[in-house]
Amino acid sequence: MPSLSPLDAVTFAVLAFVGLRLVAVARRAVRPPLRREVLSLWRGIRLRHVLPVPFVVAAVATSAYVLLGVPGLDFGWWSAIGGQGNVVTGSTERAAGTALEVLLPLAFVVLLVPGLPLFAAAEERAFRLGAEGWSTSRRILQGVAFGAVHAIVGIPIGGALALSVGGWWFTAVYLWGFRRGGRPVALREATLAHLSYNAAVLSLLVASVVLTA
Residue 131 maps to a domain: yes
Cα distance between residue 96 and residue 80, in whole Å? 16
pLDDT: is 45 or 86 the higher one?
A: 45
Query: How many domains are contained in the chain?
Result: 1
Neighbours of 69 (CB within 10 A): 10
Residue 1 maps to a domain: no
Write phi, then psi, for 135 (nearest 5 degrees).
-75, 165
pTM for this model (two decimals): 0.90
Nearest-CA neighbor of 86 among 7, 167, 147, 154? 154
- Whether 93 and 82 have beta carbons less than 8 Å apart is answered as yes
Could you report the per-residue pLDDT of 100-119, keeping only the tens digit for each? Answer: 778 888 888 889 999 999 99
Q: Is 71 exposed, middle or buried (0-12, 13-18, 19+ CB in 10 A)?
A: exposed
Mean pLDDT of 63-84: 90
DSSP bridge pairs for 92: 83
Residue 95 maps to a domain: yes
- Range(s) of the domain holding residue 143: 6-212
